[in-house]
C-alpha cells in the first residue's frame, strides 16, 4: 500500500487551521473536550489528506470537526449520562468582581437571545460570526446552497436582534446588597 500523504503539507494545514477548528468546537462543547475533538478531526484530515478540497479546506475541516464532535458526544453520553445533562447548565455565579454590571447583563442577554432563536438559527449565526465563515462557507458546512444560506442568515440575524432587544428590555438591574461591617 502506497502512502502518498505529505507530512509537510499536513503540518502547514494544521498550523493554518488548528485555531479555527478549536474556536468552532469551543462554541459547541465544554473547554475540556475541545483539544481532544480537534485532535480527532485532524487525525481524520491526516488519513483523508488526498480528499480535502483545496478550495474549501475550512468548511471541510469544520464538517469533519462536527462529525467528530457528534461521535464524542455519543461516547460521552454512553459513558457518563449525568455529565451530558449538566453540560448545558451555565454557572450561576458571576465570573469576577472586576466585570462591570453592564457587561454581565449584556452577555446574559446575548446568551438568552441565542437560546431564544433556536438551534438552527444559532448554528448559522455561530458559524458566521463566532467562527468567522463567509456565507458561502457556512453553506458548505451545512450542506446548503449559498443563496439559501444567505437568506437564512438574514432571517436569523433579524430574529436574534429582536430576541436580544427583548432580553435586554427584560433584564432586571443587579442589586448590590449592603453589607454592614460591625
Q: Are residues 74 and 96 in the same domain?
A: no
Confidence bin at 134 (pLDDT 50/70/90): confident
Provide mean pLDDT across the span 169-180. Answer: 55
Note whether 68 and 96 are same-domain residues: no
12 domain residue, yes or no: yes
Residues of the chain above pLDDT 70, percent:
76
Examine residue 54 and state whether it is found in any structural domain, yes or no: yes
Q: What percent of the chain has pLDDT over 90?
A: 44
Read off the CATH number of the domain in which 19 is found. Answer: 1.10.1740.10
The total number of structural domains in the chain stands at: 2
pLDDT in tens, 31-60: 989 999 999 999 999 999 999 999 999 999
Domain boundary among 86, 115, 133: 86
Given a cut of 60, is residue 12 above it in pLDDT? yes
> Which helix or strand (DSSP H or E) is residue 2 part of?
none
Same domain, 25 and 56: yes
CB-based burial label for 26 (10 Å; 0-12, 13-18, 19+): middle
Amino acid at each position: 500500500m502506497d502512502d502518498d500523504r505529505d507530512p509537510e503539507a499536513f503540518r502547514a494545514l494544521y498550523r493554518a487551521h488548528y485555531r479555527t477548528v478549536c474556536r468552532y468546537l469551543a462554541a459547541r462543547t465544554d473547554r475540556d473536550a475541545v483539544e481532544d475533538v480537534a485532535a480527532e478531526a485532524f487525525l481524520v484530515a491526516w488519513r483523508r489528506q488526498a480528499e480535502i478540497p483545496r478550495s474549501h479546506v475550512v468548511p471541510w475541516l469544520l464538517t469533519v470537526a462536527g462529525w467528530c464532535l457528534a461521535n464524542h458526544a455519543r461516547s460521552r453520553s454512553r459513558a457518563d449520562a449525568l455529565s451530558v445533562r449538566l453540560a448545558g447548565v451555565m454557572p450561576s455565579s458571576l465570573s469576577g468582581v472586576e466585570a462591570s454590571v453592564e457587561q454581565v447583563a449584556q452577555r446574559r442577554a446575548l446568551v438568552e437571545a441565542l437560546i431564544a432563536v433556536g438551534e438552527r438559527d444559532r448554528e448559522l449565526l455561530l458559524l458566521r460570526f463566532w467562527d468567522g465563515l463567509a456565507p458561502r462557507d457556512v453553506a458548505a458546512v451545512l450542506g446548503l446552497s449559498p443563496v439559501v444560506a444567505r437568506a437564512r442568515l438574514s432571517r436569523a440575524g433579524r430574529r436574534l436582534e429582536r430576541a436580544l432587544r427583548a432580553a435586554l428590555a427584560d433584564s432586571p438591574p443587579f442589586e448590590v446588597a449592603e453589607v454592614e461591617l460591625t
